[in-house]
A and B are shown apart, each in its own frame.
Chain A
Amino acid sequence: MLKASILVLGGGFLAQTALAQEGPGDPASGRDLARQCRTCHGIEGYAKMPIVPHIGGENPAYLRHQLTAFRDGTRVHEMMSVVAAGLSDQAIADLAAWYGAQTPVATLGPGQEAAGAPEACVACHGADGIARIEDAPNLAGETVMYLDTQLKAFRSGKRVHDIMSGIAAEMTNDEIRVVSEWYSSVQFEVIPAE
């Protein structure tokens, strides 16, 4: 029941947000555009540095959301706001299509069992950190500090989301760290698209 209501909320969020919706993006064009992403995110979306997330195999809808939010200023990041400022709707769709075309593979780390996954997260993000719904990111294998930073951003209001803002608002620093360590401990790889 909890899962169902969250899905409904997610749908409402999608409907309200002004999005780039000119049909599907072109992955080949997205690969060309990804030249400007690869130094940090890798050409196939396996992150090259700890401060950035893995985006290979992310749901294209999630990537479109985030890039649009960076461009429009509703999500702010020192580097991403600069990069996204120059992206057209089509470029966003193409990038989302390219990174979304990769296959994410998550494997629970040594000593991890699915039953031990953080309860509040699994309905959307899965025990292994592979998203179960369209508008959630994969969390598997992200660095502890990336996840910690995002949860604190939701808690403080720097980053806003219908569901996440409410969940993070209730979390202590220690709880945030524990959740972050869980998903960070999941082993993650990206299988490149053909």
Chain B
Amino acid sequence: MKYLLSSIATLALSAGLAQAQAANVPDNLEKLSNFQSTGVTEFTFIDQTGPYADGIRETLKRIKLPDGFKIELYAVVPDARHMAVGPQGIVTFVGTRKDKVWSVTDRNKDRVADEVKDFAPSLRFSIPNGPCFSPDGFLYIAEQNRVLLFPAAEFFYESPDVAAFNLVAKGDLIPEDEESFNHTARVCDIGPDGKIYISLGQPFNVAPADRLEKYKKWGIGGIIRMNTDGTGREVYTYGVRNSVGQDFHPETGELWWTDNQVDGMGDDIPPGELNRQTEMGQHFGHPWYGGGSVRTNEYKGEEVPVEVVMPAVETVAHAADLGMVFYTGKQFPAHYKNAIFSAQHGSWNRTEPVGARVMVTHIDADGNATMEPFAEGWLDENGEYLGRPVDVAQLRDGSLLVSDDLAGAIYRISYEGN
């Protein structure tokens, strides 16, 4: 309880941000910001047993992993996208591209979730794809055009009414006339500097020239960062097409992130990307480059007006590299330490589909990165998806969670040795 109170006190002192923005918040958010009840008492619970769960378990029998690893169904979670594991290990929050955020709890600690219910049911979310936690237990949820923060979410989530505040009020993350549904699955992370980093995909296949100035100013087609009281917003990354996965290297503190590249240039180009950023303000090539060193048709022949950082890894074209996490657990064999686990969602427009797997990237002493498949088998012999992995997160015991928005599930991968 002391922890909780000190969190709230910190929040109240932080620049009065709730009050400053109270004028344009919806009623329930305003009530929750004032610790009032909304009158909403009903949760939606998701059944964790029965034929649906059994069908997913059947699919998991097909998944191939390195020796000693196993994959199991952790939870049935509709539309499961990016995940945030609570720092106390009590609950995992899962975003969607719809209008719900799910809380997933493993109460009996048998490493299978036994309760999945909606989080903060009185609030109207819009594409709440990206939850992330600060080490001190503040939950952030990045939506289409808003970022909310929830102090002590691991404590409050048991009740329908939670403490909730604007970090970025609705309409302030991007200009309202730039709202879209595609390339609007945001992710966030708290950096080693204590700032929050938020990806802002640009909504086009290739960003048109007449938008570039505006996008540069807002950080659309980029990654922005700000202090966790909402001040000090700045653009950290330029030249991004649509990044839906990021994490900080546990030792160097550098930001690594995935990027989805241009469609319509053929089955085999341009490559997808895993990027390594070494300082603020670097440019990664979009829209002049469509992925790797492949120039876009729209900007072909134009001189590239910026210095461009090429990707650390070029991935299979159209595989859709999404969520990623650096492995810092102790459960897996030692050579996985500080490796990147990432999800390939799978292609939508390639003649032969590719992706739908979990990849692992090892980084050598010189910083060279090599990526290879780690868990695969969600793409069957007929080219049909049996699941589409979205994000990877690490539990406190060192096992991994993998979300899947096609099956509507979270899997757990653990190591038991040979």
Contacts and interface: CB of A to CB of B under 8 A. Distances in A.
Task: Tell whether A pairs with B.
Answer: yes
Given A145-B97, A177-B124, A79 B204 contact: no
Contacts of B127: 145
B126 to A, nearest CB: 6
Interface stretch (B33-41, B251-259, B280-288, B342-350): B342-350
B118 interface: no
Contact of B181 (A38, A48, A51): A51
A78 B204 contact: yes
A82 B290 CA distance: 14
A146 B205 contact: no
Given A39-B385, A177-B124, A78 B99 contact: no
Interface string A67-86: 00000000001110111010
Given A82-B264, A83-B349, A48 B406 contact: yes
Interface string A119-160: 000000000000000000000000111101100100010000
A49 interface: yes
A189 to B, nearest CB: 16
B98 A39 contact: no
Contact of B98 (A38, A40, A50): A50
A162 to B, nearest CB: 22
Interface residues of B, number: 30
B79 A50 contact: yes
A110 to B, nearest CB: 12
A79 B182 CA distance: 8
A112 interface: no
A36 B352 CA distance: 10
B181 A149 contact: yes
For A40, A50, A146, the residue with the greatest tally of chain B CB atoms inside 10 Å of its CB is A50
Nearest to A144: B99
Interface string A149-180: 10010001000000000000000000001000
Interface residues of A, number: 25
B347 A39 contact: yes
B205 A78 contact: yes
Contacts of B384: 38
A136 B44 CA distance: 32
Nearest to A153: B180
A49 B406 contact: yes
A165 B179 CA distance: 17
B205 A82 contact: yes
Interface in B10-65: none
A148 B205 CA distance: 21
A144 B124 CA distance: 11
B144 interface: yes
Dominant secondary structure of chain A at its interface with chain B: helix
B380 to A, nearest CB: 13
Nearest to B126: A145
Contacts of A38: 384
Interface string B397-413: 00000000110000000
B242 to A, nearest CB: 9
Nearest to B185: A51
Given A49-B97, A82-B263, A40 B348 contact: yes
Nearest to B182: A78
Contacts of B182: 51, 77-79
B181 to A, nearest CB: 4
B51 to A, nearest CB: 17
Given A78-B204, A145-B144, A39 B263 contact: no
Interface in A26-49: 35-36, 38-40, 48-49
B100 to A, nearest CB: 10
Nearest to B179: A152
B230 interface: no
Interface string B190-228: 000000000000011100000000000000000000000
Given A50-B98, A177-B124, A79 B179 contact: no
Given A39-B346, A39-B385, 14 more contacts: A39-B347, A48-B406, A49-B406, A50-B79, A77-B182, A79-B263, A79-B348, A81-B205, A82-B263, A85-B264, A145-B99, A149-B179, A149-B181, A156-B177
For the complex of A and B, the 3 pairs showing the least CB-CB separation, nearest first, are A82-B264, A149-B181, A39-B348
Interface of B: 79, 96-99, 124, 126-127, 144, 177, 179-183, 203-205, 263-264, 346-349, 353, 383-385, 405-406
Interface of A: 35-36, 38-40, 48-51, 77-79, 81-83, 85, 143-146, 148-149, 152, 156, 177
